[in-house]
A and B are shown apart, each in its own frame.
Chain A
Amino acid sequence: MGRGFKVRPANGLKRHPAQTLATYRTGTWAWVLHRATGLLILAYLYFHLIVLSSDVWFKGSADFNRVVGELTAPPFILTDLLLFVLVLYHALNGIRIMLFDLGYGIGHQREWFWGLMGVGALLMVAASLALWPLAHL
């Protein structure tokens, strides 16, 4: 996995974090967001397993059905959509990274980023249209 793009002044003095952030461009932000979304998805995995295990182990099928039914309430559908944003970003940027690993498109990394984000936005609209009607209002 690649390292972050860190710029230090030629005289060796440390920059203020805000100055470092100001040097970030599309590729660095893509890398930062890739890591952040990856860690959030990993945290969700544990949350998901703990919620499912507490239903399946301790409460039996009736409570499983009740809890899964409650998960169709609008706040949970919104959470699902937020999770979908994280997964979509991480997956699409991951495809971009895999293409670079294979030697394709690295000279146009910025165009690839915005192109794939456009695809992501369309998929997000489609997922929202599909999932939102399921919310029990």
Chain B
Amino acid sequence: MSAALLLFFVMAHLWIEHFMHLGARITYRTVLERLVHGFYVFVDAGLLGVVVFHGLNGLRSVLVENTNDPAAVRAVTTAIWVLGVATFVFGVDVLSPFLFGHPWFRL
């Protein structure tokens, strides 16, 4: 399911970012202007969410495939969920200056 969604978002992302305006320079302003449109925000945020879920779920599969200990599986699953939520928030924070005019978490 996440793989099928990922195919859609990756193709949309590649087309919008790299091929729709092939040769045009990517600047802070062009990204800002693009992210005024809700569809582009949906593609970027959707790609972020799905790629984080799909990638970390794959990593979880690799980590737990050789263990039969339910406690170890639970611990890995919990750690992966925490890492996933943190990564999603981090990714939205990268987008935040374009979406809200300022970063969420400026250090």
Chains A and B bind each other: yes
On A, residues with C-beta under 8 Å from B are: 1, 3, 35, 38-39, 41-42, 45-46, 49, 52-53, 56-58, 61, 64-65, 68-69, 87, 91, 94-95, 97-98, 130-131, 133-134
Listed A/B pairs (30) with beta-carbon separation below 8 Å: A1-B58, A39-B58, A39-B59, A39-B62, A42-B55, A42-B56, A42-B58, A45-B52, A45-B87, A52-B94, A53-B93, A56-B98, A57-B94, A57-B97, A57-B103, A57-B107, A61-B27, A61-B28, A61-B29, A65-B28, A87-B10, A91-B7, A94-B3, A94-B7, A98-B3, A98-B4, A130-B19, A131-B18, A134-B22, A134-B23
A-B contacts at CB below 8 angstroms, number? 66
Taking residues whose C-beta sits less than 8 angstroms from the other chain, chain B's interface range is 20 to 34
- Beyond A3-B65, A39-B59, A94-B3, whether A56 also contacts B103 by CB under 8 A is yes
In the complex, are the beta carbons of A49 and B91 less than 8 A apart?
yes
Say whether B26 faces chain A, with CB atoms less than 8 Å apart: yes
On B, residues with C-beta under 8 Å from A are: 3-4, 7, 10, 18-19, 22-23, 25-29, 51-52, 55-56, 58-59, 61-62, 65, 87, 90-91, 93-94, 97-98, 103, 106-107
Instruction: Select which of B27, B61, B106 is within 8 A of A57 by beta carbon.
Output: B106
In the complex, are the beta carbons of A1 and B65 less than 8 A apart?
yes
In the complex, chain B residues whose CB is within 8 Å of the CB of A69: 25
CB-based nearest A residue for B52? A45
Kindly state the separation between the CA atoms of A1 and B64 in the bound complex, as whole angstroms: 11
The secondary structure that dominates the A interface is: helix
In the complex, chain B residues whose CB is within 8 Å of the CB of A35: 58, 62
In the complex, chain B residues whose CB is within 8 Å of the CB of A68: 25-27
CB-based nearest A residue for B28? A61
Instruction: Select which of B27, B55, B103, B107 is within 8 A of A45 by beta carbon.
Output: B55
In the complex, chain A residues whose CB is within 8 Å of the CB of B87: 45-46, 49
